């Protein structure tokens, strides 16, 4: 899974025309670990239509603050560079997939 951060976020997400799904996570966060394999599976299933990437909040304070991440995991779905959907906390695979399918 691609890791992006403060230096690449504008180019990779904000200037990206299309749908990008970003998982904000950290190594110390249990629910993030549970979400990780689900995020991988979704990438395998939808990765040709949607851009998937992760942001480590410990290493990237600028984007973390900019998008006011107050709890992790948080998944942001961007459409043409703006946030279209926010998912806070662990979510079951089916719920995320149903949401993403609206955007493909």
- Minimum separation from the CB atom of position 92 to other proteins (A): 4
The β-bridge partners of 51 are 20
- Measure the CA–CA gap between 26 and 36, rounded to whole angstroms: 11
- Measure the CA–CA gap between 58 and 51, rounded to whole angstroms: 22
Asked if 47 interacts with other proteins (CB under 8 A), we say no
Among 1, 2, 7, 41, binds other proteins (CB under 8 A): 41
Asked if 84 interacts with other proteins (CB under 8 A), we say no
From first CA to last CA, the distance across the chain in angstroms is 20
Residues near other proteins (CB under 8 A) are 26, 28-31, 34, 37-38, 41, 57-58, 64, 68-72, 74, 88-95
């Amino acid at each position: 899974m691609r890791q992006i951060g403060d230096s690449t976020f504008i180019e990779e997400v904000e200037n990206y025309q299309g749908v990008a799904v970003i998982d904000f996570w950290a190594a110390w966060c249990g629910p993030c670990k549970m979400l990780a394999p689900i995020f991988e599976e979704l990438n395998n299933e939808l990765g040709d239509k949607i851009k998937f990437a992760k942001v480590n909040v410990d290493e990237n304070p600028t984007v973390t603050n900019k998008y006011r991440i107050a709890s992790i995991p948080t998944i942001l779905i961007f459409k043409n560079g703006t946030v279209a959907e926010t998912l806070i906390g662990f979510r079951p695979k089916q719920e995320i997939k149903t949401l993403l399918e609206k955007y493909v």
